Amino acid sequence: MRIPSCNCGIVGFKPTFGLIPYTACGSNEPTNDHLGPMTRTILENAYLLQAVAGTDNIDDRGFGAPPPGKVPKYGDNLANLKNPKNLSGLRIGILSESMTGAVLDPRVRDVILKASSRFKELGAKVSDISVPLHKKGPSIWTGVSKIGGYLSKTSGAFGRRGHNMLQLHELMWPLKQENWDNAYVSTKNIYLNGVYSEAAFPYLLVKSTNLSRLLRDSYDLALKEVDLIITPTLAYLATSHCTEDATPLEQIAKQVGLTSSTCQFNQTGHPALTMPVAALEILEGPAKGSGKKLPVGMQIVGKWWDGETILRAAHAWELTNDWKTF
């Protein structure tokens, strides 16, 4: 939800793991898969979440979630706030580790710092916060996502309760040349990484799974000091397409560091929302020098099951700022 939403200038909300059942959806790796609403505004997002959230008693990822009739009235509660622009008492932490890195566009960093400062004007307390393990989060996520995703796509996830989409798996497994040729490029990436990693690093999946708990604990510890964590959604603007004859390495180069501050929260299950906060001029590809702009997204992360605080903060920012002219 967050990456396409960020690139398109809309709101994308990855809620707490399991809040929305994954039944009948094409799963990659079941411990880090999420579904969530993508909308034009925060309020629309809250109402859509209100409509689709809650366990369906089929997908075991959602067994910890309340039934649909008992989930918070996300949209109603947000719409009925007496003073939606007042964030007095809210503690917001800017994650230091997300503000550095070789691929981070300094313009994106500056925008996020400026956007975060606006929360102060709404009454929130804004400070820096550190989670050192955040930098290793992409490696932890990769170890689970690639191998686990490969295994899930071959025989289906084992040891799970849910609806197995056998016809979907049959499109690729057992592997045939025709199936491979017709596969989406990211699907091929998962298969190649999975096959190689399973053979070369047989304990990578279980080690990464264990480290995922440490990663979650690290964010939980930080979320005792603050109510919400702020990061850039993506480290740089949406890139131009490769040429049709681009090599695999040339294609990969367009996405290096793409999920450097999003994939961690897939693996830990924390709710994370992206919202547009500015637009910057395009500096690469055919549109370079045209004066055209692309959106920048700010990611807001909260405690497990506390999506309402995320929506409240994002709604207040949206009501008091115009991202297209920010």
More confident residue, 115 or 156: 115
- The pLDDT score that the predictor gives to residue 130 is 98
Is the Cβ–Cβ distance between 211 and 140 less than 8 Å? yes
CATH code of 2-137+209-320, in short, is 3.90.1300.10
Which range has the worst mean pLDDT, 18-27, 214-223, 286-295, 299-308? 18-27
| pLDDT range class, residue 78, cuts 50, 70, 90 | very high
H helices of 122-175, where? Answer: 137-155, 166-170
- The pLDDT score that the predictor gives to residue 112 is 98
Average of per-residue pLDDT across 169-196: 81
pLDDT in tens, 195-240: 899 899 989 999 999 999 999 999 999 999 999 999 999 999 999 9
| Separation CA 38–CA 52 (nearest Å) | 12
- The pLDDT score that the predictor gives to residue 167 is 78
Length of the chain: 326
**pTM above 0.95?**
no
What percent of the chain lies above the pLDDT cut of 90? Answer: 73
pLDDT in tens, 121-151: 999 999 999 999 999 999 999 999 888 888 8
Kindly tell me if the per-residue pLDDT of 20 is higher than 90.
yes
| Separation CA 87–CA 308 (nearest Å) | 13
Is the Cβ–Cβ distance between 231 and 100 less than 8 Å? no
Report DSSP state, residue 5: H
Please state whether the peptide bond connecting residue 174 to the residue before it is cis, i.e. omega within 30 degrees of 0: yes
- The pLDDT score that the predictor gives to residue 156 is 66
Report DSSP state, residue 86: -
| pLDDT range class, residue 165, cuts 50, 70, 90 | confident
| pLDDT range class, residue 43, cuts 50, 70, 90 | very high
| Separation CA 54–CA 64 (nearest Å) | 9
Q: Give the rounded distance of the alpha carbon of 311 from its chain centre.
A: 15
At residue 91, the 3 state secondary structure works out as strand
| pLDDT range class, residue 52, cuts 50, 70, 90 | very high
Domain ranges of the chain: 2-137+209-320
More confident residue, 110 or 245: 110
Average of per-residue pLDDT across 29-42: 94
Question: What does the buried/exposed string (b/e) look like for 77-103 if buried means 16 or more CB atoms within 10 Å of the residue's CB?
Answer: ebeeeeebeebeebbbbbbebbbeeee
Name the residue type at position 294. L
Average pLDDT, the chain: 93
